[in-house]
Amino acid sequence: MSSLREYKYENKKDDFYYRETKFSKTPLQCPAHLHSHIELGLLLEGKTQISIDSREHILEAGDMFICFPNQVHGFKTLEKEYYMLFIFNPEMVSEFSNQFFTKLPKSGIIKNAADDGELVDILRHIADAYLSSDTHKNLAVKGYLLILFSKLFEKIELYDIQSGDIKLIGAILNYCSKNYNQPLSLSVLERELHISKFYISHTLSNKLHISFNDYINSLRVINACKLLQTTERSITEISEAVGFNTLRTFNRAFLRHTGTTPSKYRTQTSSFNHSSLPL
């Protein structure tokens, strides 16, 4: 997919999550999203494009990234990756709550972080503690996280933020991600969120660089892609299920966001044989 973007609010259930390509072949590739957890990773091999609050960077082998709570971020794999990825509740390191909830990094990228052997060792200790069966592993993970951020905050520059903007974006994205398949307009959001529709439009345009209609259509197309891959429902049924009023509008939006038609997408990506399904 060429330009498909989804700004989605994710509710993380687990306090801590770890993934490494040594155990998973899942690429970092992920549409833009945000959540209340901290996300950081170290790229050991390969190359990835990362966007943080709509600012794009190229991650190369040895680089590290960090996203604070409620920062919009996404990934696009450029070369096959080997990475370590950590996602965790900021309450695990509540000693640094002031930094995480009142400030943001001027840059979430630490170039050549892997050159710091001590930093890599700490990350490995966190991973090993999490993967162990030790009774007190949660305390070990917390301890290593505290050591990690004591070191990281010497490497990154922070600035004060306006918390109202972050809360507003979270409220908008959370509502839209839950109601994308319903009739949605700026007037609906104004009524439901008690926020001026002009301010909502301005916020999406200036913070996420996307119009309201494009954002809603991207949510609908992404969810249509999932249904095309995993169900045998007709394209007309899928169009209606994700909130499009007409099949023509669906086809036009799908082509714009993915560069292909729904039927071609289904043929290329689905494990089902859809050759005899109705459109």
User: Domains in the chain: how many in total?
Assistant: 2
Long-range CB contact pairs, 60-63, < 8 A, 24+:
61/114, 62/111, 62/112, 62/113, 62/114, 62/115, 63/109, 63/110, 63/111, 63/112, 63/113, 63/114
Percentages (nearest 5) of helix, strand, coil residues in the chain:
45, 25, 30
- Quick one: pLDDT at residue 279? 39
Question: What domain range is 240 assigned to?
Answer: 163-269
Same domain, 217 and 261: yes
Q: Taking residues 119-131, what's their average pLDDT?
A: 96
Same domain, 153 and 172: no
CA distance 62 to 42: 7
Q: What is the pLDDT of residues 179-227, one digit of tens each?
A: 999 999 999 999 998 889 998 888 888 776 778 898 899 889 888 988 9
Indicate if the pLDDT at residue 36 is higher than 50.
yes
- For position 105, which CATH number holds? 2.60.120.280
Q: Is 124 helix (H, G, I), strand (E, B) or coil?
A: helix
Same domain, 37 and 99: yes
Same domain, 48 and 92: yes
Q: What is the mean pLDDT of the chain?
A: 85
Quick one: pLDDT band at residue 74, thresholds 50, 70, 90? confident
- Chosen domain end from 160, 181, 212: 160
- Quick one: pLDDT at residue 267? 87
Same domain, 132 and 198: no
- The more confidently predicted of residues 137 and 31 is 137
